[in-house]
Amino acid sequence: MFLFNSCVQAYTSPAHQQIFFCFLMANHQSLVKGATQLYGRVFNHHAILQSDINTMRNFDGNTQPCEKSAQVLQDQLTQTSEAFSRCDKELPTLSAVSSSLVTAKQICDTILLQSETHLKPEYLANEREARAEKWERFMNEMKSKALELDDKYCRESEAMSNYYKEANEKLKDSNML
């Protein structure tokens, strides 16, 4: 309004004022059009906001795997720190375990040496001879036991046949009377 009044006062004659008003009326449409364009540029942010929203959606979509990876990494770090603390707690017992392992290794070494001596040809030959002698003793014992059983069987069968012969004779003698 101040601008309008100052322009009107500059043109003090009525003819000048009339020309000024005609000029204003002719340019009124272009002024309104320019003002609406200016308003649209300054205050209409729909396209910018929409692209910002799309950008944020894309950003969120791209950062979710990163956030998951970061969470997995954080979980791994906490598990690692917990494992370190457990290892620190178990460190005093490590020397006892180490000495037990050394003892077990020594026992394994002696067993290995003994097994190597068992695989020597002299040892194997001696063991074969010992097994052969043991087998022969076993077979001789079985033969002697078999002979004893055969003798006992023969004696018992003779004793039974004698018993039945006597029983038959007694039966015949009792029937004849």
Per-residue pLDDT of the chain in tens (177 residues, 90 and over written 9): 444 555 545 545 566 556 655 655 655 666 666 667 766 666 666 666 666 667 766 666 666 777 788 888 899 889 988 888 887 888 788 778 888 889 999 999 998 888 777 677 887 888 899 999 999 999 999 999 999 999 999 999 999 999 999 999 988 888 775
Residues 6+ apart with CB under 8 A from 20: 7, 8, 11
> Which letter, b or e, does each residue of 32-70 get, where b requires 16 or more Cβ atoms within 10 Å of its Cβ?
eeeeeeeeeeeeeeeeeeeeeeeeeeeeeeeeeeeeeee
